[in-house]
Amino acid sequence: MNMQSSVNRNSDMLLNEVYFWTITIVGWKHLLKQDKCKEIILESLYNLVSRKLIKVYGFVLMPNHLHLIWEMLMMNQKEMPDSSFTKFTAHSFKKDLSINHPKVLEVFKSEKYDRQYQFWQRDPLAIKILDKDMLIQKLNYIHLNPLNERWNLVARPEESKWSSANYYETGLDEFNILTHFMDRY
């Protein structure tokens, strides 16, 4: 299978397959700069992991996007867990912003018929992980993302609080959401 055929932009991820998944805040706005929004994301992941709907092998939360290496294990009733994730986080962002930052909330007002606000861009990037080497390459990519000169958020990957890099360095999972990729391979 070539790389092109493993790229999926319409969230048709399959159960029991591992994906490198990237989702971006609409308009590339820096909503995720706020720790509260990062905590909402981690709360959603924790909920899905604790209900055994997903496994998370790696992640990084950036100011305007996030990268996950994850596996969908079971449907969440009639929807895939990635849909549950985006719905929960969007609802929680809206609730928090309406109380604490109503002017920021207005930035995310939508003209679309099916929603009042939109936080996530549609069609996240999903790339099926074909083997352990590809997973390691994507894991290195996400762990180095905060060091990119565009962001310059930390000096070393494990310094990023909002990443799985420290887990892979120390074995400590302070968010209780991670599964080591060697458990899969």
pLDDT digits (tens, 9 = 90+) for 139-169: 999 999 999 999 999 999 999 999 999 999 9
Who contacts 6 (Cβ-Cβ below 8 Å, separation ≥6)?
127, 128, 130
CA 58 from chain center: how many Å? 9
Q: Tell me the two tokens of residue 21.
A: 């998944």
Summarised one tens digit per residue, pLDDT across range 161-178 is 999 999 999 999 999 999
Give the tens place of pLDDT for each residue, 67-109. Answer: 999 999 999 999 999 999 999 999 999 999 999 999 999 999 9
| Structural domains of the chain, count | 1
DSSP code per residue over 107-163: HTB--STT-SB--BPSS-EEEE--SHHHHHHHHHHHHHGGGSTTT---SSGGG-TTB
Expressed as residue numbers, the domain containing 85 is 3-183
CATH of the domain at 175: 3.30.70.1290
Tokens 């996950």 appear where? 68
- Residue 31 has which token pair? 């909503």
